Structure 1
Amino acid sequence: MAVDRQEVPGSPSVTAAGSPVPAVKRRAWYVLALLVCLMLVNFADKVVVALSGVGMKKELGLDGSQFGVIQSSFFWLFAVGSVLGGWLGGKVRARWLLAGIAAVWALSLAPMVAQVGFTTIIACRVLLGFAEGPTVALAMQVAHSWFPAHRRSVPSSIVIAGAGVGPLIAAPVLTWVVEAYSWHAAFGALAAFGAVFAVLWLLGGDSGPEGARAVDRDVAATVLPERVPLRRLFSTGTLIGMAILFFVAYANTSVGVSWLPLYLREGLGYDATTAGRLVVLPYLGAAVAVILVGVLSGALTKRGVGNRVTRGVLPAVMVLVSGVCTVAFSSLDRGVPQMTLLVIGACLNSAGYGVAFAGLADVAPAKQRSTVFGIIAAVYSLGGVVAPLVIGGLVDAGESAAAGYGDGFLVLGVTMIIGAVAALLLVHPDRDAAKLAAAS
C-alpha cells in the first residue's frame, strides 16, 4: 500500500512534524487567489450577454427565443470542452493549460467589440463555452493539489465563491460600461481582462505537491486504488447523485447568469440602473454563503460527522430549499418578499457547490480526478443548454413577459426539488469509497 506523502518527514510538502512547510502553504493560498480570479473572469464572461441583452436585442432585432439561442449556444460545446479539458488535465501541466484557456477566452470575446451579426455572436459564444467548459473542473483539480483531503472543503468553497464574486463585480461595472459607452465596449473590457489573467497565471500559477500523490485518503482513512474503471466509478450512487444535483443546480445558475438581468427589467419593470444593483444581491449573498458552508462542512468533519452528511446531505438540502424558494418567488409580484426569496434561493443553490466537489474528490482517485470532474462538468453543462432555451420559449409563449418568466422559474424550481431529492437518496461518499477500495 502506498504511503500518504503528507506524513513522510522530509517530503517537499511537509515539515518533520508532518505539517505543510510555510513556503508551500503560502504558495497554496496565492494559487488559490489566482483561481478565484479565474472563476471571477469565467462568470463575468457568462453574465455579460445578459447585461448587454436589452441593447443587443434592440440593435439586432432579436426576440426572446433568438436571445435564448444566443444564451444557450454558450453551452453547445461546453460538454466537449469539459471532457477534453479533464483529459488534458492529467497530461498537460496546469501552468500552460489554464493560461491557454484564458487566452482563448480573450480571443473569443475580441470580435464582439466591432459590429457583429447574430451568427457571429453565436460562433463567438460557442468558442467561449468550449474554452470555459473545463474551467471549474481544472480549478478544483489544482486547488485540491495544494491541500490534503481533510482540508479541501474550505478551499473548494473559496474557489466556487469566485463564481459569485465575478457577477458581483461585473454587474455594476459592466452595466456602467454598457450605459456609458456600449455593449460592445463591455466585451472589449473582458477580453483585456482575460489576457491579463493569462499572463498572471503563467507567472505564478501551477499545480501543487498533493497532486503528485498516487493515492488519496479521506477522513476515515479509506485508501482508494490508483485507478478505477470509469464505468465502475460512474455506477456509484455518489457520482450518479452528484451528477443529478449538479445538473439541476447549474440549470438554476445558468438561468441566473443568462436571464436574471432581463427578468428584472422586462419581467418586473425595473430600470437599468436599479436592475444592475439588484442583480448584484444574489451573487453577493452566494459568495458569502459558499465560504460559510465550506467552513461549516470542515467544522463538522473535524467533529467526526461523516462525509455523507457534510458533503452529500448538506448540499442536497440546500438545493432542495433553493428550489422551494424559486417556486415561491415565481408567483409573487416585485417587492421585498420576492427579492428576499430570490436572493436566498441563489445563495443556497451556490453554497453547496464547493462541498459537493469535495464529495466527488472523496470517491475519485487522485490520478483520475480531473477526468471525473470534467465528465461531471459535461453532464451539468446540459442544464445550461436546456434551461435558457426553456425560459426563452416560455417568455415568448406567456400572456405577458412577467407571466412567461413566472412560468419559467416555476418549472425550474420543481426540477430542482426533484433533482435534490434524488441526490439525497443516492450520495454516500464514505460507503462508495469503501466499496471501491475493497474491490481493488
Structure 2
Amino acid sequence: MRWIVLVLLFFGMIINFADKSIIGLAAVPIMEEFKLSYAEWGLVGSSYYWLYPVTGIFGAAWADRIGAKKVLGFLMLTWAVLQFGVLAITALPLLVLYRILLGAFEGPFSPVAYSHAHKWFPPKLRGFANSVVVSGATVGAMIVAPLLVALISILGWKAAFACLGAASIVWAMAFQFMTKESPAEVYDKAKKKKQEKLEKINIKEFLRVLGSPSALFTTLAYFSTYFLVVWLAVWLPIYLVEVVNMSPAQMGYGVAVIGIASTFIYIGVSALSDYLFKKNQNWRLSRVYVVASSMVIGALFLASIIVFQHPVWVVIAMCFAKGLTYAILPIGPTIMINELPERGGLMTSILTSSGNIAGIVAPLVTGFIVGLSGADKVFGYNLSILFMAALVLVFSILFSIFVKPDTSKREENEHESRLLQSSN
C-alpha cells in the first residue's frame, strides 16, 4: 500500500506542477492574445503565489486534523473546476484572478503530500520517498513540456489547460478508491493520541520551534531554491527561446532533458543522504552537509551559464544546477518534521509556504530586471541568474553552519519506523 500511495502522490505532483508550468509554456500565445508587456507577464506569474503561502499553512493544518486523503481529493477537484474555467478567460484581470485562485488551492498540496509520505515510510527511506514526490514536480514542470507544447499548438492554450483539469478528476477518483489514510496498525493505535496532541498544542513551544536555527535556516535555504523553481517554471522557456535562440520545439525538448537529468541527480543525492543516515544516524552529516554541499555546487553551475551561453552547455549546466540545488526540497521536510513530529503537516507547510514567498517575488523581480534592460535582454536575464546563484550560495552556507536537527527524537523515529515496517 505504501508504494501505491507514493506512486499516486508522484502523479499528483506531476499535475500540480504541470498546472504551474503550462502558463510559462503558453507564454508567447497568451502574451500575444492579450498584448501583455513583460511587467504584466511578471504580474501573471507572481499572482499565483499571492495566497499560496497562507493557504498552504491552513490547508496542511486542516489535513493534520481531518486526514490527508480527504484534503488531497478536495484540492484536486477544485483544480479541475479552475482549469475548465480557463475557457472563459477573455482579459488580463480574469487571467490574474484564475492564477490567484489556482495558487490558493494548490498551495496545500506539497506540504500535505510530504507529510503523507512521511507517515508511510520509515526514517531511513524518507529522503528517497520525498525525492520521488519532488520528482513528480520536475516531471510536471519540465519532462512533460514537449507534450504540453504539442497540446498548446494543436488544441490552443485554453483547451490544453482544460486537459489538465480532466487529469485532476481522474487522480482524485484513483486516490480515494485505491489508498487509505495511513498504515492500519499505526493509525488505529495512534489516532486518538494524535488528536489529543493537536488539541493541546503549546503555542509558545510551537513558536520556539519555528524560531530555532534549524527551522529558520532550513526555511531560508528552501526559499532560495524555490526562487529558482519559480524562475524555471515562468521564465526558462522564454529564456531558451529569446536568449539561447532555440526554436519552440527545441525549447520543449531542452526543458524535458533538464527535467529528466536533474531528477536522477537529486534522487541520487537523496539516496546518498538516506544511505549515510542509515549507516551512522548522523543528521548533520547525512542531511545537512550533503544538502548544503549540493546546493553550493549547483549555484556555481547556475552562475556558469552567464559566461558560457552555448545551447549545449546551458542545458548541461541547468541539469546540474537544478538537480543539485533541489536537494533541499526532499530533505528539508524531513528536517522540519523531525523538529515537531506530531505536527508534520503544519511544520512542512511552514517550510513550503515560507519558501513560496519567493514565488511572489521571483516573477516580479525577473520581469522588472528584464524590462529595465531594454533591448539588451541578455543582460537582464544574466543579472537575474546571477542574483539567484548568489542567493542559493549564501543561504546554503548559512544552512550548513546553523542547522543542527534535534537528535533527541531519534528513539521516537526508530520506534515509529518499527511500527511502519510491521504494519506494511
TM over 0.5: yes
Deviation, 1:181, is 2.4
1:369 corresponds to: 344
2:333 corresponds to: 357
Amino acid at match of 2:366: I
Question: Is the 1:315–1:353 Cα contact (8 Å) retained in structure 2?
Answer: no
Amino acid at match of 1:124: Y
Deviation, 1:167, is 2.4
1:288 to 234, 256, 264: 264
Which 4+ residue blocks in structure 1 deviate beyond 6 angstroms? Answer: none
- Identity percentage over the alignment? 25
Amino acid at match of 2:351: I
Distance 1:249 1:370 in 2: 21
Are 1:164 and 2:115 matched, yes or no?
A: no
Deviation, 1:294, is 2.2
Amino acid at match of 2:268: L
Of 379-388 and 289-298, deviating more is 289-298
Are 1:103 and 2:98 matched, yes or no?
A: no
3-state secondary structure, aligned to 1:152:
helix
Amino acid at match of 2:395: G
Which runs of structure 2 are paired with 1:153-232 in the superposition (5 Å)?
A: 153-209=127-183, 210=186, 229-232=205-208
Distance 1:211 1:168 in 2: 36
Of 111-120 and 54-63, deviating more is 111-120
Distance 1:262 1:155 in 2: 32
Question: Is the 1:151–1:298 Cα contact (8 Å) retained in structure 2?
Answer: yes
2:92 to 106, 118, 132: 118
Is the helix fraction higher in 1 or 2? 2
Distance 1:240 1:212 in 2: 34
Structure 2 CA distance for partners of 1:71 and 1:407, relative to 1, 3 Å:
same
Deviation, 1:212, is 6.5
Amino acid at match of 1:384: G
Distance 1:94 1:235 in 2: 26
Structure 2 segments unaligned to the other structure (5+ residues): 192-199, 414-424
Per-residue CA distance 1:310-354 (angstroms, 9 max, x = gap): 111211222222222222212332332232212210111223321
Amino acid at match of 2:289: V
3-state secondary structure, aligned to 2:326:
helix
3-state secondary structure, aligned to 2:332:
helix
Question: Is the 1:314–1:352 Cα contact (8 Å) retained in structure 2?
Answer: no
Amino acid at match of 1:87: A
2:371 corresponds to: 396
2:359 corresponds to: 384
Distance 1:381 1:401 in 2: 26
Of 377-386 and 297-306, deviating more is 297-306
1:319 corresponds to: 295
1:61 corresponds to: 35
Count of aligned positions: 399
Deviation, 1:286, is 2.2
1:415 to 388, 391, 398: 391
3-state secondary structure, aligned to 1:429:
coil
Question: Is the 1:90–1:370 Cα contact (8 Å) retained in structure 2?
Answer: yes
Question: Is the 1:93–1:206 Cα contact (8 Å) retained in structure 2?
Answer: no
1:8 corresponds to: none
Per-residue CA distance 1:345-395 (angstroms, 9 max, x = gap): 011122332122222222222x21111111112210111111111111111
Amino acid at match of 1:37: F
3-state secondary structure, aligned to 1:330:
coil
Question: Is the 1:250–1:380 Cα contact (8 Å) retained in structure 2?
Answer: yes
Structure 2 CA distance for partners of 1:329 and 1:250, relative to 1, 3 Å:
same
C-alpha RMSD of the superposition: 2.1
Structure 2 CA distance for partners of 1:86 and 1:115, relative to 1, 3 Å:
closer
Structure 1 segments unaligned to the other structure (5+ residues): 1-26, 216-225
Which runs of structure 2 are paired with 1:71-110 in the superposition (5 Å)?
A: 71-110=45-84
Of 228-237 and 131-140, deviating more is 228-237
3-state secondary structure, aligned to 1:50:
helix
2:221 corresponds to: 245
Amino acid at match of 1:234: L
Of 285-294 and 36-45, deviating more is 285-294
TM-score (norm 1): 0.86
1:426 corresponds to: 402
1:7 corresponds to: none
3-state secondary structure, aligned to 2:49:
coil
Deviation, 1:235, is 2.3
Deviation, 1:211, is 5.8
Distance 1:304 1:150 in 2: 11
2:231 corresponds to: 255
Of 274-283 and 303-312, deviating more is 303-312
Question: Is the 1:240–1:426 Cα contact (8 Å) retained in structure 2?
Answer: no
3-state secondary structure, aligned to 2:356:
helix
1:337 corresponds to: 313
Distance 1:160 1:338 in 2: 23
Amino acid at match of 1:117: A
Question: Is the 1:363–1:432 Cα contact (8 Å) retained in structure 2?
Answer: no
Distance 2:75 2:101 in 1: 11
Deviation, 1:431, is 5.0
Per-residue CA distance 1:20-55 (angstroms, 9 max, x = gap): xxxxxxx01111110001111011011000000011
Question: Is the 2:265–2:320 Cα contact (8 Å) retained in structure 1?
Answer: no
Question: Is the 2:277–2:287 Cα contact (8 Å) retained in structure 1?
Answer: no
Deviation, 1:213, is 6.9
Amino acid at match of 1:95: K
2:282 to 295, 306, 312: 306
Question: Is the 2:258–2:315 Cα contact (8 Å) retained in structure 1?
Answer: no
Are 1:405 and 2:381 matched, yes or no?
A: yes
